[in-house]
Amino acid sequence: MVKAIRVPRKKGEEMRKKLSSLGILDADYFPSHDGKYVYFPVVKGLRGYKLVEVKARRREVREGFKEMLREILGKDGGPLADGIFSSYDIVGDIAVLEIPDNLRANEKGIADALLRANANIKTVLRKEGGMEGEYRVRRFSFLAGENRTETTYVEHGVRMRLDLAKVYFSPRLSHERGRIAEKVKPGEKVLVMFAGVGPFALVVAKKQKDAKVVGIELNPEAVRYFSENIGLNGMGGKVEAVLGDVRKVVPGKFAGFADRVLMPLPKNAEDFLDVALLAAKKGGIIHFYTFVNRKDGKEAAEKKALEAAKKAGRKIEILESREVRPFSPSTVQIVVDFRAA
Ligand SMILES: C[S@@+](CC[C@H](N)C(=O)[O-])C[C@H]1O[C@@H](n2cnc3c(N)ncnc32)[C@H](O)[C@@H]1O
- Ordered structural domains, the chain, with CATH: 1-58 (3.30.70.2580), 62-148 (3.30.300.110), 169-340 (3.40.50.150)
The ligand 1 atom at the shortest distance from the C-alpha of residue 262 is: 6
Read off φ and ψ for residue 62, nearest 5 degrees.
55, 40
Give the residue among 304, 259, 324, 322 at the shortest CA–CA distance from 285. 259
For residue 28, what pLDDT is reported?
Answer: 74
The rounded Å distance from CA 320 to ligand 1 centre is: 23
CB 219 less than 6 A from any atom of ligand 1: yes
Q: Which residue CA neighbors atom 4 of ligand 1 most closely?
A: 196
The two counts, helices (H) then strands (E), for the chain are 10, 17
For residue 179, what pLDDT is reported?
Answer: 95
Global pTM value: 0.82
Indicate the DSSP class of residue 44.
S
For residue 61, what pLDDT is reported?
Answer: 52
CA angle 57, 63, 67 (to 5 degrees): 90
- Kindly calculate the radius of gyration of the chain based on its CA atoms and give it in whole angstroms: 25
For residue 254, what pLDDT is reported?
Answer: 98
Note whether 278 and 255 are within 8 A (CB).
Answer: yes
For residue 85, what pLDDT is reported?
Answer: 76
Provide the residue-wise pLDDT of the chain in tens; the chain has 341 residues: 899 999 999 998 888 878 877 778 887 788 999 989 999 999 888 999 999 999 988 776 556 788 888 888 887 777 777 788 777 899 999 999 988 888 888 899 889 988 988 888 999 999 998 889 999 999 999 999 999 999 999 999 999 999 999 999 999 899 999 999 999 999 999 999 999 999 999 999 999 999 999 999 999 999 999 999 999 999 999 999 999 999 999 999 999 999 999 999 999 999 999 999 999 999 999 999 999 999 999 999 999 999 999 999 999 999 999 999 888 889 999 999 999 99
The rounded Å distance from CA 40 to ligand 1 centre is: 48
Note whether 200 and 178 are within 8 A (CB).
Answer: no
Residue 265, by phi and psi: left (phi above 0), alpha (psi -120 to 50) or beta?
A: beta
CB 20 less than 6 A from any atom of ligand 1: no
The rounded Å distance from CA 25 to ligand 1 centre is: 42
Q: In 10 A of CB 91, how many CB atoms?
A: 20
CB 173 less than 6 A from any atom of ligand 1: yes
User: Which helix (H) or strand (E) covers residue 324, if one does?
Assistant: strand 316-326
- In 3-state terms, what secondary structure has residue 218? coil
Q: Which residue CA neighbors atom 16 of ligand 1 most closely?
A: 134
For residue 63, what pLDDT is reported?
Answer: 60
